[in-house]
Structure 1
Amino acid sequence: MKVKVLSIPVQNQEKALKFYTETLGFVKKMDVPLSEQNRWLTVVNKEEQDGTEILLEPSPNHFEPAKVYQKALMDAGIPYAQFNVENTQMEYDRLKSLGVEFSVKPTEMGTVKIAVFNDTCGNNIQIVEIL
């Protein structure tokens, strides 16, 4: 088995697309209209465009349990997803300079260094550097 698509619930697909591409640096892979308001919208790492796709899923707007779950994770400060980075401090500095809000600054935890930011779409996202 191989992971092809990872779904992240977002409150607004257009806002999510802008944040995930312009701020985080992913590139749009798929954009297929499903209805007037919803799309099959994925982004990928620009260096691994055949790798795992992140589906910017509008489920919180249409499925109440997803909305409750997303809000509970956000309120508890629990990351919805984790992205690996080469250097947590450098990525933290780059994202901070772009106005990204962090709830956890770069912190060493055993064999990793982590930081957690708000993706502006209802989720905490953790970045991780393997030390």
Structure 2
Amino acid sequence: MAMKIILTSIFVDDQEKALKFYTEKLGFVKKSDLSAGEYRWLTVVSPEDPGGTELLLEPNENPVAQAYQRGIFEQGIPAASFGVEDTHAEYERLKSLGVKFTMEPTKVIGQVTIAVFEDTCGNLIQIQTMQK
């Protein structure tokens, strides 16, 4: 059996704000919400794949995490990439919800179209579609 990715994380500056953005704007659903000391083990998943890869909304309290998050943001590097059926349609949907984009839908390598937005929690997020 091949190895599978079951969990990945993204640093956030406020877990509650992140949960609200990732569920209400992006459409993910909360999977886990457990107390972990003063923080929470807080994950979201795609509603289309509730048993799939979980995204941990991880507090960026560690100074190294803060420096990393700030550094890749300032360099314009997305912290995560999510697949969508239609980048242009998702761009319009998210923009209508007030999401701030730093890159409009752009065709890059081959038939791939990407767009990049701010998640309000210190990250740039890329969405992408493979065009047929």
Task: Bin the TM-score by the shorter chain.
Answer: over 0.9
Q: TM-score, normalised by structure 1?
A: 0.96
The match for 1:118 is 118
Aligned pairs (5 A) from 1:9-48:
9-36=11-38, 38-48=39-49
Q: Where in structure 1 are there 5+ consecutive unaligned residues?
A: none
Distance 1:47 1:112 in 2: 22
SS at match of 2:105: strand
SS at match of 1:50: coil
Distance 2:76 2:111 in 1: 21
The one-letter code of the counterpart of 2:25 is: T
Identity %: 58
Distance 2:5 2:114 in 1: 23
Q: Deviation digits for residues 9-58 of structure 1, max 9, x if unmatched?
A: 0000000000000000000000000113x000000000100000000000
Distance 1:102 1:64 in 2: 27
RMSD of equivalent CA atoms: 0.6
Distance 1:78 1:2 in 2: 25
Aligned residue pairs total 128
Aligned pairs (5 A) from 1:1-131:
1-36=3-38, 38-58=39-59, 60-61=60-61, 63-109=62-108, 110-131=110-131
Distance 1:94 1:119 in 2: 15
The one-letter code of the counterpart of 2:129 is: E
Distance 1:80 1:43 in 2: 16
Question: What is the deviation of 1:111?
Answer: 1.9
